[in-house]
Amino acid sequence: MKKLYIAAFVAFAAFASGTHAAERPGHAAIASAHTLATRAGFEVLAEGGNAFDAAIAVASTLSVVEPQSSGIGGGGFFMLHRASDGKNVMLDARETAPAAVRESQYLKPDGTPNRDTALYGPLAAGIPGEPAALVWLAAHYGKLPLAKSLAPAIRIARAGFQPGQGFLDAIAGHREQIARYAGTKALLMPNGDVPKAGWTFRNPDLAATLERIAAHGDDGFYKGKTAQLMLKAVKETGGDWSAADLANYKVVEREPLSFDYRGWKIVTVAPPSSGGVALEEMFNVLSGYDLGAMDRAQRLHYIIEAMRRAFRDHNEYLGDPDFVKMPLATLLSPQYAAGLRASILPDKATPSAMLPSAVAHAPGMHTTHFSIVDADGNMVATTQTVNTHFGSCLVPPGTGVFLNNEMDDFALVPGAPNAYGLLGNKANAPAPGKRMLSSMTPTFVFGPERVGVIGSPGGSTIITQVFEGLLAFMHGDSAAQIAAKPRYHHQYLPDVVYAEPDAFDAATEKALVGMGYDIQQRGHWGFMNVVTWNLRTNKLDAASDPRHASGLGEVR
């Protein structure tokens, strides 16, 4: 027993220091939003691939089977943990603004914001980052050639599959925008209307695009035939991308944010995601309270007040680190957290209106997250997106690629809210080649005995989902319990606690209302995919969110 504990501690020290190899789990675990994607990951592991090859397989398969949420026409963030040397790195594959971006493109002739151009069609689309990430992963971290890791996605795109209700509902929700673009309509509404259950969706053009990437790497997407087809469609539908916009796209390896909370080490995304900064700020606030000694309502009070303050801050100051200077050292300092705690009354909610004003977020329900640990202990946490369902709804004919509508994540028009209610600020103003701010928060958590890989889609709720998921993990919950746990969310404005129907028992809700909280039920949200690794027993666990039928978490 003692020996096991020492082994676990050595493994933790290895992870935490990032200098030594970790213990091998001997099995692999994958949790993703689609059964076919999880299986594609295992298929590639069985071919001799590692977690990074499996991530390519899962991401490319999601491109085929869940194009409403993510795909090679979009982007994302990959958190990577390499077992051989303990390296943790953030691979930033966020989209970039084309050089021709102008505020006027997102205004109507009368000068008011044009929400349609911000969300649909070519002006809504940033230059995709996902293909470059897949190429980078294969070249720098994987063991297999790209062609092998992309093979399951290529096969499924050609053979087709029967989409579930979520996919069909997403088509129904965007019927009008899909009908605008011939390439998209031919794929999603081949008979002119929303397909019925039992329909087989095939995307052979996407298979051919993936084959070009497999054969030519970056050039298979950002140059040559795929690039020409995208440039032509973007131009014909009123957009303005140049060949250089595509050819110049680069992924960036960034130092993750890494911080400690009560003996746990959390490794998460840095800007241009706001999620990691918000997480660290919230945990810094909580570090001053003895949560374990409190009743549930009191504990929730401090957790919600930490959320309120982090959300007030995080959009105000954050943007693409290659373009803006951010006061991260101040925001993440213990002194700043102490100041925030000093503003929290022990028995009363702080009205958001009493805090200095800032921008606000509204939740969104798109995007995808998956988690992988392989038999050697390599790990991937990645959240990826085309933004809202089917992104811009523009599929350049001949590519099968759903172009994202990530430009809406910029503060396109000062003072005008985006799809998540985000108002304008300078740090996140668009500029040629700049990355738009994101809430995506793929995260690793390392403890002496357990390691977690966690994330979820859900716009601004991603951050609070991951926060609550980490607290549950630290409390000892299993992967399945973490993924299933009822959720609550506060984001500064609106000054409301959103709650899933079973988030609070009656007595807790009464106590919170007594403190001044406005609690509103708002159905269910999120699609969490979690892997946990118990270093003491060397057991992996994987779970996909029970709120959705399509996902699969599996250990093999």
Residues that bind ligand GLY in the complex, under the rule CB under 6 A: 367, 385, 387, 406, 409, 438-440, 459
Any catalytic annotation for residue 61? no
Nearest approach, Cβ of 92 to ligand GLY (angstroms)?
Answer: 12
Closest of 395, 354, 376 to residue 157, by C-alpha: 395
End-to-end CA distance of the chain: give it in Å, rounded.
26
Nearer to ligand GLY among residue 54 and residue 59 (C-beta): 59
Nearest approach, Cβ of 390 to ligand GLY (angstroms)?
Answer: 13
Look up residue 221 and give its two tokens.
């997407």
What single DSSP character describes residue 45? H
Residues 6+ apart with CB under 8 A from 417: 360, 362, 423
Q: Report which secondary-structure segment, H or E, holds 173.
A: helix 165-173
Please name every residue paired with 443 in a beta bridge, in sequence order, or none if there are none: 268, 454
Nearer to ligand GLY among residue 93 and residue 300 (C-beta): 93
Phi then psi for residue 223, to 5 deg, are -140, 175
Nearest approach, Cβ of 536 to ligand GLY (angstroms)?
Answer: 35
Nearer to ligand GLY among residue 25 and residue 457 (C-beta): 457
284/313 Cα distance (integer angstroms): 14
Q: Which residue is nearest to ligand GLY (CB)?
A: 438
Nearest approach, Cβ of 410 to ligand GLY (angstroms)?
Answer: 11
Amino acid at site 503: A
Count of CB atoms situated within 10 Å of the CB of 412: 29
Nearer to ligand GLY among residue 61 and residue 385 (C-beta): 385
Nearer to ligand GLY among residue 438 and residue 465 (C-beta): 438
14/9 Cα distance (integer angstroms): 8
DSSP symbols for 283-326? HHHHTTS-GGGS-HHHHHHHHHHHHHHHHHHHHHH---TTT---
Nearest approach, Cβ of 439 to ligand GLY (angstroms)?
Answer: 4
Count of CB atoms situated within 10 Å of the CB of 102: 11
Nearer to ligand GLY among residue 12 and residue 120 (C-beta): 120
Nearest approach, Cβ of 369 to ligand GLY (angstroms)?
Answer: 11
Nearest approach, Cβ of 387 to ligand GLY (angstroms)?
Answer: 4
438/275 Cα distance (integer angstroms): 7
- The catalytic position among 38, 209, 367, 441 is 367
Total count of residues recorded for the chain: 556
Nearer to ligand GLY among residue 462 and residue 479 (C-beta): 462
What single DSSP character describes residue 449? S
SS3 for 143?
coil
Question: Each residue of 499-523: b (16+ CB within 10 Å) or e?
Answer: bbeebbeeebbebbeebebebeebe
Q: Which residues are catalytic?
A: 367
